[in-house]
A and B are shown apart, each in its own frame.
Chain A
Amino acid sequence: MSTPLSGPGSVTQTPGREPAGSPPSRSRPSRSRVTRDDAPITLTGLAGKVLLLGLTAGVAVWAAFPLIAAGMWVGLALLAASTAGLFYLYLTRRHIPAKYLVPGTLFLIAFQVFPVFHTASTAFTNFGDGHRGSKDDAIVAIQSSSVTQVPGSAEYALSIATKGDPVTGPLVFLVTDPGTGAVSVGDTGGLRQLDAADVTVATGGKVTAADGYTVLNFGQASSRSREITDLVVPTAGGALRSSGLSRAYEGKAVRAYEAGCDCVRDTGTGQTWTADEQAGAFVAADGERLAQGWKVNVGLSNFTRVLTDENISGPFLGTLIWNFAFAIGSTGGTFLLGMLIALALHSPRMRGTNLYRVLLVLPYAMPSFAMLLAWRDMFNADFGLINSLFGLDVDWFGQAWTARFAVILVQLWLGYPYMFLVATGALQAIPRELTEATSVDGASPWQSFRAVTLPLLLVALSPLLISSFAFNFNNFNAIYLTTEGAPFPADNPTNGATDLLITYTYRLAFGGQGAQFGFAAAISLFIFAIVAVVSAVSFRRTRQQEEVYA
């Protein structure tokens, strides 16, 4: 909970309601607006307006061309409408509040509200690896991946290249036709001939350089040999596949789609797989599925899977409970520790508080992502600091409970300076007369703390506690950068002992075992529902509390 307050993506604090002071003059008619209509047009105002609207128009035109090229008319219409709307809004003298709200709202709608709806609609599909595109895409993929070399077929000199980073960028084949010497670039979309002026071809036909592409050297290529073997470039007669790292062959598809039976038939063995529109896959009579399917609506099945599939619901429930324990533990722990230290330093007779404070707060100002990684290595079983310092021999991240203890301890370290800071601020706001009065009345320090200081502290800090809880509930970094969810049970490599729902979701969507976007989206919606309920309940409770104490 390093920075629970802000930052994109973090749940923010700011619960509450209208401020108690300065009652807004709701009854007063907006006399000011009438006056504003007469306000003179200043030169700077006019220049700023012209500049910004010109910029808007420029961006809109720039954005329009690709939309036209791609034939996305709905997108184009949206773009035109929003640009026209912006022009109207800032040229008219009316709608003043909207002038201030629209800029932020546009971003909010485009990058937060729309993704949420998109998440909701994705949650009802089987979208993911093997179910990415349409049925036609799946058929092309099935046919081209079944390509096998026909004896005597043409062989091409092959270079592997990419447009991006040599380690991660999408791969393409650069092949030279042995007959014509023409160089083509191929990817899963097909083969495209390159201009001879743009490429350098070595003797033997291998391409050594091409404009706009990075040709991978042998080491880079061999480290990605799996991907290279899997890359299939569809061609008119079949498809191109690599054989080794420097040769490619054109082969024929063994499996072919037949429209009559809506099925895929293997010309070698005669086996057929029939299209199943419900599952979005070709299924054989014995239930075997082809790897490439297509995206279909699966209704509620992603949601029911979470609740009814025993392989998922069991671990899911465990993760949920740990998720609550983690959020409560790290919020409560940091609050308690921070408050205790703030109380200890809160004394008029205490010297050196400023120095203490500067040193205490350092963890909060350190980059939390890096410190999480550093802590991970301090818990290293073989040569970590914790084990060597205390003479222990504990495999911290290898056992469920030590791993959980470790991540909470790390959260405590990262988060308590923040709680200390705010508790210090809140303590200073409590008038000293209150506690003095209780001690005159004969109360012990503990009694006066219980009866006066703590309730007042809680009133001041409970909104922050709630937001900190909400932040920690989805504290991705805290887990992903330390344990990555480990330790994993032997029978379930997707759901570890320290996994939060958010890290679990992330692994489903982007993990190594094949993306399950639809399922991950469904879990996102579950998390949203849980967070919303918890926040609603706690807001209501703090409001009551505030009315009692304030």
Chain B
Amino acid sequence: MTTLNRKTTGRRRSRWFAQVGWRHVVAVLAVLFSLFPIVFVLSAALNPVGTLSTTDLVPTGGVSLGNFGGLFERTAFGRWFLNSLLIAGVASFASVFLSALAAYAFSRMRFRGRRVGLLSLLLIQMFPQFLAIVAIYLIFGTITDLWPSIGFNTPWGLLLLYLGGALGVNTWLMKGFFDTLPRELDESATVDGASHAQVFFRIMLPLVAPILAVAGLLAFIGTINEFLMANVFLTSTDSKTLAVGMYGLLQSNERNNNFGIFAAGTLLTAIPTVLVFQLLQRYIVSGLTAGAVKG
């Protein structure tokens, strides 16, 4: 009896493993892979010595928040943080709005040059803006001479530059979403006497709000991480963004010594995006795949 029992439970166990258990093994391994660099950064941020050479995966030499204090004392981190929030916030908001405007026109109106317009958007996107970084640098040299307030070392110049890529970024994705909204909605509003602007602001925008939020979040993350153009643009300490400023922390011989405060800065940078990301995750999954299939 007992041997028979043991046999069946054994068999059940191996069947459980074949169907479900291995999935947990894969998931745990993947989670470990995902987490260990983050744990390393966390441990570096809490490391009281604050150097790379003394940092291990798990904090062994005690825990301290000194690196966070040092970050604000020794660097202009607060300033960089504000700069990044300002630039990324305004840029993502404005670029989403601009592309929503264009997507509405492409989705709901028929006009001469519509196909050409859509195709050329696709073509222009293939030339990433930063490939023209040499030309942009030269152009903004002139702009800095003429209008210093939107030139190098100002957030506004960089912002204008980011808006140059606004149309390409999300127009196609959003057009796909506008297309899925039934036309009867806005047509009946038009019959009732609504102007095209009222249709856009009062009817369309609220309906596509989720995709606007997702596109905005992705644009926000993208702008926070943008390094190349910001690095060319922002050279004075006070105008830097997080990416440029924190890159400077790890330059040359300060690399080992600054690692602790760098890690602290990384964690602080991550907080807003991780939070919003977890909130919007569901939309991101459905938004990306729907946009991809419908193109």
Whether A345 contacts B135 in the complex (CB less than 8 A), given A378-B37, A476-B130, comes out as: no
Contact A14 B171 (CB under 8 A): yes
Asked if B77 is an interface residue, CB under 8 A from chain A, the answer is no
Q: Which positions 497-535 of chain A face chain B at CB distance < 8 Å? A: 502, 505-506, 509-510, 517, 520-521, 524, 527-528, 531-532, 535
- Determine how close the nearest CB of chain A comes to the CB of B240; give it in whole angstroms: 10
Q: Which of A11, A70, A389, A424 contacts B126 (CB 8 A)?
A: A11
Interface residues as binary, A395-425 with B (CB distance below 8 Å gives 1, 0 otherwise): 0000000000000000001000100011011
Asked if A432 is an interface residue, CB under 8 A from chain B, the answer is no
Whether A25 contacts B169 in the complex (CB less than 8 A), given A7-B223, A371-B266, A425-B286, comes out as: no
| Stretch from B5-13, B64-72, B229-237 contacting the other chain | B229-237
- Determine how close the nearest CB of chain B comes to the CB of A506; give it in whole angstroms: 7
Q: Which of B53, B196, B292 has the most CB of A within 10 A?
A: B292
Contact B135 A115 (CB under 8 A): yes
Asked if B208 is an interface residue, CB under 8 A from chain A, the answer is no
Whether A347 contacts B20 in the complex (CB less than 8 A), given A5-B288, A115-B132, A481-B247, comes out as: yes
Q: Which of B135, B153, B186 contacts A118 (CB 8 A)?
A: B135
Asked if A137 is an interface residue, CB under 8 A from chain B, the answer is no
- Determine how close the nearest CB of chain B comes to the CB of A297; give it in whole angstroms: 16
Asked if B85 is an interface residue, CB under 8 A from chain A, the answer is no
Point out the residues of chain B lying under 8 angstroms from A22, CB to CB: 179-180, 182-183
Asked if A360 is an interface residue, CB under 8 A from chain B, the answer is yes
Q: Which positions 90-105 of chain A face chain B at CB distance < 8 Å? A: 96-97, 100-101, 103-105
Whether A119 contacts B222 in the complex (CB less than 8 A), given A66-B146, A345-B23, A365-B277, comes out as: no
Q: Which of B34, B56, B114, B259 contacts A360 (CB 8 A)?
A: B34
Contact B289 A425 (CB under 8 A): yes
Asked if A12 is an interface residue, CB under 8 A from chain B, the answer is yes
Asked if A179 is an interface residue, CB under 8 A from chain B, the answer is no
Besides A42-B195, A112-B165, A413-B37, 4 more A-B contacts (Cβ < 8 Å) are: A36-B195, A114-B139, A460-B292, A528-B131
A residues contacting B by CB (< 8 A) are 2-3, 5-22, 24-26, 30, 32, 35-36, 38-40, 42, 45, 63, 66-67, 70, 72, 96-97, 100-101, 103-105, 107-108, 110-116, 118-119, 122, 127, 164-165, 167-169, 337, 340-341, 344-345, 347, 349-350, 352-353, 356-371, 373-378, 380, 382-385, 388-389, 413, 417, 421-422, 424-426, 429, 459-461, 463-464, 470, 474, 476-477, 480-481, 502, 505-506, 509-510, 517, 520-521, 524, 527-528, 531-532, 535
B residues contacting A by CB (< 8 A) are 19-20, 22-24, 26-27, 30-31, 33-35, 37-38, 40-41, 44, 52-53, 55-57, 91, 95, 98-99, 101-102, 104-105, 109-111, 114, 117, 122-139, 145-147, 153, 160-173, 176, 179-180, 182-183, 186-187, 190-191, 193-198, 200, 215, 218-219, 221-229, 232, 235-238, 242-243, 246-247, 250, 255-256, 259, 262-263, 265-266, 269-270, 273-274, 277-278, 281, 284-286, 288-289, 291-295
